Amino acid sequence: MKNFRSTLLLFIVTALLIVYISFFDKRIKSTEERQRTENELFHVESSDINWLQIKSPTETVILEKKDNQWKITSPLRVDADERTIDRYLVDLQYLEVRRKISQNEIPKEDILKQWGFSNPSLEVSFRTSKEKYDLIIGRKTAVSELVYAKTSMGTNSPIYLISSSIADSLKKGLDDLRSRVVFHFNPFNIEKCGIRQLSGPSFSDYVVLKKGKQWELQKPVLARADGTKLEEWFNELLSLRIDKFVSDDGSNLNQYGLDSPKYQIWIGQTGKKEEDKLLIGNSVSSNSKEIYAKMASNNSVFILQTDLITRVVQNFVDIRDKHVFPAFTEDQVDKIGFQAKNLKLFYVKKANEWQAEEAGREMMLANKNKIKDFIESLHNLESHEIKQQQMENKGYGLDNPEETIEMEFNPGITSDKAQKVALYLGKTENGFVYAKNSIEPFVYTLKEDFIKNLPKTPWDWKDLSVIQLDPQEITQWDVSSALQSFSVKRKEGKLVSTGISDMDEEKLKDCLEFLSHLKAVRWLGPPTQGMELSKPQVKITIHAKKNYVLLIGLSLPTGGRSALIEGEPLAFELDESIYKILVSPKSTPNPSQEAQPQASR
């Protein structure tokens, strides 16, 4: 009981101590906060300021906030740099007084002249909707890093000492406050854009127009534009920043090469009659890494980095879509066909499966992973080079194509209705094959590797499943070879072997799993004499509702075994590790863990 009272007393003391410390800490913090607020020269929220004037001995800049945006209204009407203005107003809000000198402490009137107020280094005025504020900055004090400041030019107002570093940060001129952003636009509002080369060895004009959700190159040739590249190009324009302002009067443009600019980079926006045009002039004579530029809509001449403009121009010249097909999705593809000299094969999508159609043959289940990968490769297929109509089709071997790939889309890729689109493959030169689609006039050059991935036989893309059964359907299997013969049966819910001893039931379960979900490594085609499947080395009879006889022949150079389901037309390659388990399930070490992924693919 005594221990309980001691523990309770200790708990109460601790709780009271925590409450006291928490209260005391909050009180200290609130006191510090109050002290800091009391030291602020202006008790104003920066977000409430809507007008600002900054006057120095050399210039006066006036800014106004309208529709939540700051604009410079004098000496020029230009956009202001929002971040710079926000930081400036925050500095005003939290400007602290280090010392206040009341009127009765000021020794004599001419001291104001000595403290720099007869010719202030800076005068800042600002307004809210309710009140106007002023800040007049004099000279630095003789000792510490402070400056004299007043909030009124009246003789009876007090003098304040404030930080000289803060005072220096408030000395902003026109070039410090104006926006250095070149283009202002929302990419979603762009409906056309382009680049015109107006001077140089040759005239060129590149124009891109938005049609629906797609972008189309109008000049110098009518073709698809790459939407992804265009988005990147818009971001490049939005990231352009002015290095330095040179002139604002718009005169003597010839000295900057802007009376006859090299390039005109332009964009057209929805709802705007005039295009936004950036004119590019000469390189700066003292620095070839800089170039003169101006917007066509105003007189301001400024300097940009040459490499940024070079990149903008080059990337737009390369804006053409190099994909062989217009954009499509896998879901749009309903049918794929291949026609060559010795092959005519079609794959048809039914529900979520693909089936192979070949004249005179029964429908075969296709390997949907290979179909999916091929559709993805067509979606991403790009041309190394795009040939204009400089040569007849026969010059590229396209008058009599080596192979034709045909796809049926629903909806179409250039229409809302179902559409057939073919890709014709011509002759091969220097590691590239010429190609052309059926809906556009251009000839593409594709890497020769593309051809190597096409199906050459009806069974290349056949589904790799050989047997698909519920393991419970198999009641028995018999293994027969020149070395040994044995059987495995179900008996009282267990797998029991005869003709072989020292069997582990777990290993028999592995065999059952392999047989019920037997998969090929690859299909070999019709059996040949060299596979020795007419005289197999191993024969496995599987007893189920329908019996299967698995014939296993010779080893193949690829590492597996030739195999065939009796009565089926196509042989296949059986994984060597699975073969070893099926013919000798008692062997050690047990490779079933290694072989399991192959069986369950």
Question: Nearest 5°: CA angle at 42, between 36 and 48?
Answer: 110
Between CA 448 and CA 434 the distance in angstroms is 9
Predicted confidence (pLDDT) at residue 393 exceeds the cutoff of 70: no
For 399-446, the pLDDT digits (tens) are 899 999 999 999 888 888 889 999 999 999 999 999 999 999 999 999
The CA distance from 391 to 454, in Å, is 27
Q: Return all residues near 510 (Cβ < 8 A) that are at least 6 apart.
A: 581, 585, 590, 592, 595, 596
- Whether 15 has a pLDDT exceeding 80, the answer reads no
Question: Inter-axis angle of helices 227-239 and 306-317, to 10 degrees?
Answer: 160
Q: Flag whether pLDDT at 2 surpasses 70.
A: no
Strands of 69-74's sheet, edge to edge? 78-79, 69-74, 60-66, 51-55, 122-127, 132-140, 146-150, 159-163, 99-101
Distance CA 14, CA 49 (A): 49
Nearest in space to 87 (alpha carbons), one of 169, 173, 161, 167: 169
| Through-space distance between the first and last CA atoms of the chain, rounded to whole angstroms | 70
**What is the average pLDDT value for the chain, to the nearest integer?**
89
Contact 280, 262 (CB under 8 A): yes
Which residues face 178 on adjacent strands?
A: 80
pLDDT score recorded for residue 251? 87
- Per-residue pLDDT at 152 exceeds 90: no
- On the question of a cis peptide bond just before residue 411, with omega within 30 degrees of 0, the verdict is yes
Beta bridge mates, 11: none
pLDDT digits (tens, 9 = 90+) for 178-231: 999 999 999 999 999 999 988 765 668 999 999 988 999 999 999 999 999 999
In this structure, what is the dihedral angle of CA atoms 576, 581, 584, 587, given to the nearest 10 degrees? 110
Q: In the chain, pLDDT over 90 holds for what percent of residues?
A: 71
The band of 598, judged by pLDDT with boundaries at 50, 70 and 90, is very low
Instruction: Please say if the pLDDT value at position 305 is more than 80.
Output: yes
Structure tokens at 154: 């009246």
- Residue 211 one-letter amino acid: K
Give the pLDDT score at 585: 82
CA–CA dist 286, 244 (Å, integer): 14
Interatomic CA distance for residues 218 and 209, integer angstroms: 7
pLDDT, residue 24, reads 54
Q: What is the pLDDT of residue 281?
A: 96
Q: How far is it, in rounded angstroms, from Cα 445 to Cα 423?
A: 12
Q: Which residues contact 394 (CB under 8 A, 6 or more apart)?
A: 400
pLDDT for position 505: 79
Evaluated on CA atoms 376, 377, 383, 388, the torsion sign reads: negative
* Cα–Cα distance, 140 to 147 (Å, whole number): 4
Sheet with 214-219: list strands edge to edge.
223-224, 214-219, 204-211, 190-197, 263-269, 276-284, 287-295, 301-305, 244-247
Torsion, Cα of 539, 543, 545, 551 (10° steps): -10
- Residue 364 in contact with residue 463, Cβ under 8 Å? yes
Taking the C-alpha atoms of residue 110 and residue 117, their distance in angstroms, rounded to an integer, is 10
Backbone phi and psi for residue 389, each to the nearest 5 degrees, phi listed first: -80, 65
With a threshold of 0.85, does the pTM exceed it? no
Q: Where are the alpha helices (DSSP H) in 267-353?
A: 306-317
